[in-house]
Structure 1
Amino acid sequence: MKKKLQTAFLYLILVSLIGFSCSKSQNGDWEEDKKVATEVEDPNDDFLLTLTTEYGAMKIVLYKETPIHRENFIKLVRQHYYDSLLFHRVINGFMIQGGDPDSRFADENENLGRGEIGDLLPAEINYKYFHQKGALAMARKGGPSNPDKKSSGCQFYIVDGKKYTKESLYDSKTDYKRVNQYFSSLIEDPEYSRINQAYVQLGERGDVAGQKRLMKKCIPMMEKKYEVQLIEKPTRKERIAYTKYGGAPFLDREYTVLGQVVEGLEVIDKIAAQKVNPQNRPLEDIKMSITVEEVPSVYVEQLLKKIH
């Protein structure tokens, strides 16, 4: 009898180890051990996520207008992929990031953020959705190596952000790299010699802030003269959200926003306030688990109205 129990115990251990090893292939891709449903059963329903941490739980709505990202996220949640992963990158006043598969069993000093599973996702950047506080978006590699802005297959971030005044919001939406280029062309034109003279005088006094103010005053003139748009004017909804709740408007139109925290915004603040190392990894591990349920679409719309 004792031998049978030992044999059964070893069998259970072996099965559990095989089940885990089959979940992640040698190249780091997450293997589906079974097919999971990623569509709602009732067309009048929608998805609602619950992301739980030791600091509390967040309720998150996923947008229908980003179907590829939504389906991928639901698939991973229903496979329990995110359970026990860490928020490995936390920047107070900016965002909290997680989903790196390497974080599941990472050493305390391990530098995280490079882990990936599956293929990158094609961008689904919808101008309707933006980076207000609580926005759920997929991380991605930046720079010229990713010109199509493809998303990570697993890593995501939730915006913490900060509140903006109307003036600072417009400032965050200004493309100063292009402003500098057009301003240089403007002051080379003899017609605008007085502006050039004023700019030079400010520089001689070391008044860099004054030079920037002068350039900003000239933006409407440059937009008209060169027929360009140098300020991405925020919509009314964006102005209200960024001034009332806060966010990270400089990320807009650069990353795919696929959802929104509708309950538990205070949990983001608690996580963002934790002490971190020089790589912005929390000194104390912050583990997550995510579940999904189907709820009436009408209920989801009511939740979204509260934070829009």
Structure 2
Amino acid sequence: MRAIFCCLLLVLLMHCQPAGPTHAVIQTNRGDIEVMLYPETERHAANFIKLANEGFFDGTLFHRVVPGFMIQGGDPTSKGAAMDKTLGMGGPGYEIDHEIGAPHLHGALAAARTPNPEKRSSGSQFYIVTGELQTDNSLDQIERIKGITYSEAQREAYKTVGGRPDLDQDYTVFGEVVTGMDVAEAIAEVETGQYARPLEDVVIEKVIIK
């Protein structure tokens, strides 16, 4: 009886353990980017997983890329879009309440949004930060402007890895790149035309949840 009880207790404890972070592989025609989704941004993570499993991102483009800044995708109207079509306004028909917290370090996965006072995120559009190295002076300036106080670890990361602190407290970061950052950086450097759209389509072929 005691052995049975111990086995049942072990099973119960295993089921009660918090799930680890979910990973997703963004497969593109330029290579794969694997990201880890933050459990603490549960609304954004769950939404990204849902859309990926539905195939929502399949065939969409990284439609806006800016060196030293970010690459942006997730607009459903970008599928097969003509080169003269204006992109960046499409979505699934809803927005997500913000879960602002994590900084925009190099490799951050964040939600795009329209200008709205509640800072609600786009239902599908996201970006990956490439960013630039920061200095103590640039971080001091961001702290004064935005009323942010960076930890020593965050300051060190911005100075040694880089990012875009000017976006902090305005957009939700809900994950980070774990492999394939070289692919994201290469995409950020492709030749672009109007509205920073690549002249040769950078296609998100599929997003696979691991």
Q: Which amino acid aligns with 2:43?
A: I
Equivalent position of 2:65 in the other structure:
90
The structure with the largest strand share of the pair is 2
The structure with the largest helix share of the pair is 1
Equivalent position of 1:174 in the other structure:
144
Shift of 1:237: 2.1
Shift of 1:139: 0.5
Give the number of the structure whose alpha-carbon radius of gyration is greater. Answer: 1
Shift of 1:174: 2.9
Are residues 1:291 and 2:205 paired? no
Equivalent position of 1:154 in the other structure:
124
Shift of 1:118: 2.6
Please give the TM-score of this superposition, normalised by the length of structure 1: 0.60
Q: Map Cα deviations across residues 97-151 of structure 1 (whole Å, 9 max, x no partner).
A: 000010012111211011121311111112xx11001101111112xxx111001
Equivalent position of 1:270 in the other structure:
186
Q: Distance in 2 between matches of 1:278 and 1:105?
A: 17
Q: How much is the aligned-residue C-alpha RMSD, in angstroms?
A: 1.8
Counterpart selection for 1:110 from 65, 82, 85: 85
Q: Map Cα deviations across residues 166-189 of structure 1 (whole Å, 9 max, x no partner).
A: 2222223331xxxxxxxxxxxxxx
Structure 1 contact 173–249 (Cα < 8 Å) conserved: no
Q: Which amino acid aligns with 2:137?
A: E
Structure 1 contact 131–257 (Cα < 8 Å) conserved: yes
Please give the TM-score of this superposition, normalised by the length of structure 2: 0.87
Q: 1:123 to 1:44 in 2, by over 3 A?
A: closer
Q: Distance in 1 between matches of 2:60 and 2:111?
A: 16
Structure 2 contact 21–38 (Cα < 8 Å) conserved: no
Structure 1 contact 173–250 (Cα < 8 Å) conserved: no
Q: Which amino acid aligns with 1:291?
A: I
Are residues 1:120 and 2:37 paired? no
Structure 2 contact 108–173 (Cα < 8 Å) conserved: yes
- Which 4+ residue blocks in structure 1 deviate beyond 2 angstroms? 42-46, 171-174, 230-233
Equivalent position of 2:177 in the other structure:
261
Mind listing any 5+ residue stretches in structure 1 that lack a counterpart? 1-39, 176-229, 294-308
Shift of 1:264: 1.5
Q: Which amino acid aligns with 2:105?
A: Q
Shift of 1:268: 1.5
Q: For residue 275 of structure 1, give the secondary structure of its aligned residue in structure 2.
A: coil
Q: Distance in 1 between matches of 2:42 and 2:172?
A: 11
Are residues 1:132 and 2:105 paired? yes
Q: 1:114 to 1:239 in 2, by over 3 A?
A: same
Q: Which amino acid aligns with 1:160?
A: T
Q: Distance in 2 between matches of 1:113 and 1:148?
A: 20
Shift of 1:232: 2.5
- Give the length in aligned residue pairs: 195
